[in-house]
Chains A and B, each alone.
Chain A
Amino acid sequence: MLSEELLGGIFFYTLGFVTIMETTRQVFEGINVVEFAAIAAGPVIGKHLADHGARVVHVESYERPDGFRQNYPPYKDNKPGLNRSGAFGICNNNKYGVTINLKAKEGVDLAKELIQWADIVIENFTPGTLKKLGLGYEEMKEVNPDIILLSTCNQGQTGPHALHPGFGSHLSSLCGFTYMTGYPDRLPCILYGPYVDHIGVGYGVIAAVAALEHRRRTGAGQFIDLAQYEAGVQFMIPALLEYSINHRVVERDGNRHSFAAPHNTYPCKGDDRWCVISVFNDEEWKALCKCMGRDELISDPKFKTRPARKEYEDEVDQEVGKWTSRLTAEEVFKKLQDNGVKAGIVQTIADLFADPQLKHRGFWAPVDHPEVGRCHAEGPPFAFSKTPFKIDRPAPMIGEHNELVFKTFLPAGKKAQRRD
């Protein structure tokens, strides 16, 4: 426990943030966010804003808690409980949790007070749901003319399939990712979790910041319609061009690459341990052969050039695999990288928690949760030189901040009726 705290300190110290942290504002300091959102696609957008200083209020109700609290493992020690969810934890650190029953008129009134307080509202209900509750964009504007409303959903707010219910794991397939993953002689492999939701999160953060910048310039809020499906399509553009121009569908091909060999996963010492090696040119091939102690392969006509290596790729893979299986994945990674060959460890999640590079970046931020205990939030993929992220609170327990938010945050501070 102590060493993690110490590491956090060293991280800031080595990057010279110690004094700056006292004086510099965070990117979203002073920005208030309200989320009528659940699972991943909406809440993770808010998480990124919270990591950089926004005050983010996550709204749920006891009737309908966030789906990640109750329908999805993991739970701490495998014991289900509203405040024991790992999935909810990883999507909601540094937020304030409140409960409002939006089916009651008083609840809607209270929600409107929050909207009045907010700069941005994030929602990921089925299109039209908030409107039915009396909390559509028009109603929001009545109480807060400059509000930014970010609506994110599977298929978008408009169009013939707008109301079709879908989960992220299905959407990965509709977007084309599943079809392109796996071995040619096996069924396609499903991508882990709601893959496309997280692409939508990236585009959601971009949309939120763009709208804030627009408001900074013009003073006006706006409505944003983000379809996770369309965000996913952005990650498919080369396959779309390949089809529309060259009339070829990108087929799953294991780890092979049309222009590189060797380019694969190779077995290493230990149980289910793997490394990857990708060689794009003859220079890298030469370096790899030297590392393997197989100088004779450099000039072997079967392996000498890239086209030759592509032709005899199965043999190339065998030779490389023979060498890697005598070493640990870590040994292969270090040896090859130190000699200019692009190589890696197929890191398990346990490896990620021990990864010295991620540690150096403070990626796993320790937080202490009242029921779960010590756990970790994920830091952002970017580090700012002057406005560092700050993760210092776990995801809220359900309704944990009702008092604080309704009594202190809301300007009126009056205690409205609610179920808690």
Chain B
Amino acid sequence: MEEKIKLLKDCRVLDFTNETGFLCGKILGDLGADVIKVEKPGGDESRNLGSFYKDIPDPEKNLYWFSYNHNKRGITLNIETETGKEILLKLVGKTDIFLETFPPGYLKKLGLDYAALSKINPQLIMTSITTFGQSGPYKDYKGSDLVLTAMSGFMSVLGDADKPPVRPTLPQSYVWIGMHAAEGTLMAYYHRGMTGEGQHVDVSGQAGVTWALSIAPSFYDLNRELPTRAGSFITGRSITGAILRAVYPCKDGYLAYIIYGGPAGIRTNKRLVEWMDSKGMAPDYLKNKDWSKFDIATVTQEEIDQLEQAYMKFFKTVTKEEFFKYVLENDMLGYPLATAKELLEDEQLKARGLWQEVEHEELGTTITYPAFSTKFSSIACGFWRRAPLIGEHNEEVYGEIGLNNSDILRLKKADVI
């Protein structure tokens, strides 16, 4: 096998994103790009979101910042000052990709929008990430994870039927957007490699999170049926309208188990009944059931309820670990409801080498992070550096465009960096 290369090692990225776009630059960094995270002098507001290392509310100890800003260098720059603007223009001359999450029109007002920057650097790729997009009736409206989860339709299929819709408690929309932004940015970068042409990539958060709805839109599109929230049940699997339980309480938490048809589903049900029987917990109707006639696409609610009732009773006697072990050994469908604890202990993730211990010398400790999730045979993806401190690489990066230490001191005093 040939040697792995750091794919984007000659690609320079300026990253002006807030929490809604962090993941995009991180992914480019994972692929080897030199990503420079640019913050306001004193640090970005996004360093104050969410929780902190050992609950110490310090912008240098923010866990969301740690999560999605590694593999980036960090500088500070106030682009609203004339000097700051000049410095930015110098940096742009050596930049391949410009990432930003400013409100539409903000950069134009500063004379720093794509039209202006592409005059200095025609090969520049600019990726703009906003809640709704750069144009259109909602372009000036603001978002949050809650707003994006609602406006994308994702929330309409989450939550109990008799309660208000919910979002996942750990925000998901920002990572959806960051991931999509990385897709679009890389596509534009590949296109530039083929043609020499830079361009502007306009990412809409709303449209991005809509992809989390999976196939749900097709129910409405084809038949004007409206998939809606069903709590711990799944819908849309039987044409009778039967809903299937997906979450069962167990001895020490919850299990995900769904009654499916097809070869894997039928095997799963049969082996569960065998397991129940071995504990004397399989009612006769289960032991005598002819699974070969079971058809999930036409099953009725009555039949499902009868099965689930027996399963519910049995699962309460089983632990998450026992269940996981049993489904793995018996080729069954189903998993426990994991938390971060189980993820960190999972044998598969360990065997695949997902976890990386990263040194945080500023905290005098190491922190465990997941590595980039894709294994390439010829591209090296690594965890090259922890998330930057505020202005950590000012001297390094500004040195690269010819500023010396006394220039840097002067700029610091003038609140430019």
- A343 at the binding interface (Cβ < 8 Å): yes
Across the two chains, which residue of chain B brings its CB closest to A252? B169
Q: Which residue of B lies closest to A184 (CB)?
A: B169
B220–A216 CB distance below 8 A: no
CA distance A324 to B186 in the complex (A): 42
**Does chain B have a CB within 8 A of A175?**
yes
Among B127, B158, B182, B218, the most chain A Cβ lie within 10 Å of the Cβ of B218
On whether A349 and B156 interact (CB within 8 A), knowing A192-B216, A233-B349, A240-B343, the answer reads yes
Verify B231–A182 contact, CB threshold 8 A.
yes
Q: Count the A residues whose beta carbon is within 8 Å of the partner chain — how many?
A: 159
Beyond A186-B163, A193-B215, whether A358 also contacts B206 by CB under 8 A is yes
CB-CB under 8 A from A239, the residues of chain B are 170, 339-340
Closest to B203 in A: A382
Determine whether B229 belongs to the interface, using a CB cutoff of 8 Å to chain A: yes
- Asked if A87 is at the interface of the complex by the 8 Å CB criterion, the answer is yes
- CB-CB under 8 A from A90, the residues of chain B are 215, 217-218, 221
Shortest Cβ gap from A180 to chain B (Å): 5
User: Using a CB-CB cutoff of 8 Å, which residues 128-187 of chain A contact chain B?
Assistant: 155-156, 158-162, 164-167, 169-183, 186-187
Over the window 180-211 of chain B, the binary record of Cβ atoms lying under 8 Å from chain A Cβ atoms (1 yes, 0 no) is 11111011111101110101111111111011
Binds B, one of A55-63, A75-83, A296-304, A409-417: A75-83
**Which single member of B160, B258, B351, B376 contacts A170 (CB below 8 Å)?**
B258
Report B-chain residues with C-beta under 8 Å of the C-beta of A104.
Answer: none
Cβ–Cβ contact A76 & B374, under 8 A: no
A236 with B170: in contact, given A193-B215, A386-B199 (CB under 8 Å)? yes
State whether B219 touches A73 (Cβ < 8 A): yes
Asked if B51 is at the interface (CB within 8 A of a chain A CB), the reply is: yes
Contacting pair A229 B197 (CB below 8 A): no
List B216-268 residues whose CB lies under 8 Å from chain A: 216-229, 231-234, 236-239, 246-247, 249, 253-256, 258, 260-262, 264
Asked whether A379 lies within 8 Å of B207 as measured between CB atoms, the reply is: yes
Q: Does A71 sit at the interface, judged by CB under 8 A?
A: yes
Say whether B239 contacts A73, CB under 8 Å.
yes
**Interface status of A195 (Cβ within 8 A of chain B):** yes
Within 8 A of B (CB), among A222-275: 222-227, 229-231, 233-246, 249-260, 263-267, 272, 274-275
Contact B351 A381 (CB under 8 A): no
Are B232 and A214 within 8 A (Cβ)? no
B354: Cβ under 8 A from any A Cβ: yes
Question: DSSP class of A's interface residues: helix, strand, loop or mixed?
Answer: mixed
Point out the residues of chain A lying under 8 angstroms from B368, CB to CB: 240, 244
* Structural contact, B165 and A246, CB atoms closer than 8 A: no
- Contact residue among A189, A222, A242 (Cβ-Cβ distance under 8 Å from B340): A242
Whether the Cβ atoms of B373 and A170 lie closer than 8 Å is: no
Residue in B184, B214, B247 whose beta carbon sits within 8 Å of that of A192 in the complex: B214
CB distance from A239 to the nearest CB of B (A): 5
**Least CB distance, A328 to chain B, in whole angstroms:** 14
Is the C-beta of B377 less than 8 angstroms from some C-beta in chain A? yes
The reply to whether A74 and B236 contact each other, CB–CB distance below 8 Å, is yes
A112-120, A197-205, A307-315, A397-405: which lies at the interface? A197-205
B61 nearest in chain A by CB position: A245
Partner among A14, A77, A173 whose Cβ is within 8 Å of the Cβ of B338: A173
Contact check: which of B54, B191, B219, B226 meets A27 at CB < 8 Å?
Answer: B191
Contact indicator B352/A158 (Cβ below 8 Å): yes
B33 nearest CB across to chain A (Å): 11
Q: Are B166 and A375 in contact (CB under 8 A)?
A: no
- Nearest A residue to B351 via CB reads A159
CB-based contact B151/A176 at 8 Å = no
Is the Cβ of B343 less than 8 Å from the Cβ of A190?
no
User: B164: CB under 8 A from chain A?
Assistant: yes
B 117-173 contacts with A by CB, 8 A: 127, 132-133, 135-139, 141-160, 163-170, 172
Name the residue of chain B whose CB is nearest to the CB of A244: B368
Within 8 A of A (CB), among B342-358: 342-344, 347-349, 351-352, 354
B183 touches A202 (CB 8 A): yes
With CB as the reference atom, state the residue of chain B lying closest to A343: B147
Selected contact of A233 from candidates B262, B370, B379, CB within 8 Å: B370
Query: What is the distance, in angstroms, from B403's C-beta to the closest C-beta of chain A?
Result: 32
- A240-B370, A244-B367 as given contacts; A71 in contact with B214, CB under 8 Å: no
Q: Contact: B379 with A211, CB < 8 Å?
A: yes
B348 near A179 with CB under 8 A, answer: no
CB distance from A78 to the nearest CB of B (A): 6
Question: A241 to B297, Cβ gap below 8 A?
Answer: no
Choose one: B27, B55, B210, B378; the contact of A363 (CB below 8 Å).
B210
How many Å from the CB of B143 to the closest CB on chain A?
A: 6
User: B116: which A residues are within 8 A, CB to CB?
Assistant: none
* Residue ID in chain A nearest B208 by CB atoms: A381
- Contact assessment for A161 and B348 in the assembled complex, using a CB-CB cutoff below 8 Å: yes
Q: Mark A72-101, 1 if CB is under 8 A from B, else 0.
A: 111111101000001101110000000000
Whether the Cβ atoms of A385 and B114 lie closer than 8 Å is: yes
Determine whether A342 belongs to the interface, using a CB cutoff of 8 Å to chain B.
yes
Contact partner of B344 among A222, A240, A378, CB < 8 A? A240
Most B CB within 10 A of own CB, among A198, A210, A280: A210
A384 touches B335 (CB 8 A): no
At the interface, yes or no: B5 with Cβ under 8 Å from chain A? yes
Nearest CB of B to A10, in Å: 12
Query: How far does the alpha carbon of A189 sit from the alpha carbon of B147 in the complex, in Å?
Result: 20
Out of B157, B166, B249, B370, which one reaches A265, CB within 8 Å? B166
CB contact under 8 A between A224 and B377, given known A175-B343, A259-B49 = yes
Contact B247 A210 (CB under 8 A): no
Q: Is A361 an interface residue (CB 8 A)?
A: yes
Please report the C-alpha to C-alpha distance between residue A166 and residue B264 in the assembled complex, in whole angstroms: 9
A181-B166, A190-B234 known; A235+B379 contact, CB < 8 A: no
- Complex Cα spacing A40 to B220, Å: 18
Collect the chain B residues with CB atoms within 8 Å of residue A342's CB.
142-144, 146-147
Nearest chain A CB to B242 CB, angstrom units? 11
Q: A182-B232, A349-B227 are in contact. List 17 more A-B contacts (CB 8 A).
A: A89-B218, A160-B351, A169-B234, A191-B168, A199-B179, A209-B187, A210-B376, A220-B378, A230-B373, A233-B370, A241-B66, A246-B63, A265-B166, A352-B153, A376-B217, A382-B181, A384-B184
Kindly list the 3 A-B residue pairs having the minimum CB-CB distance in the complex, ordered from nearest. Answer: A86-B218, A193-B214, A382-B184
Q: List 25 A-B contacts (CB under 8 A).
A: A25-B195, A73-B237, A76-B223, A86-B222, A169-B258, A170-B256, A172-B256, A173-B336, A173-B337, A174-B338, A176-B343, A180-B169, A213-B193, A214-B5, A217-B193, A220-B378, A229-B349, A246-B54, A264-B164, A265-B164, A344-B146, A344-B148, A347-B151, A356-B137, A358-B206
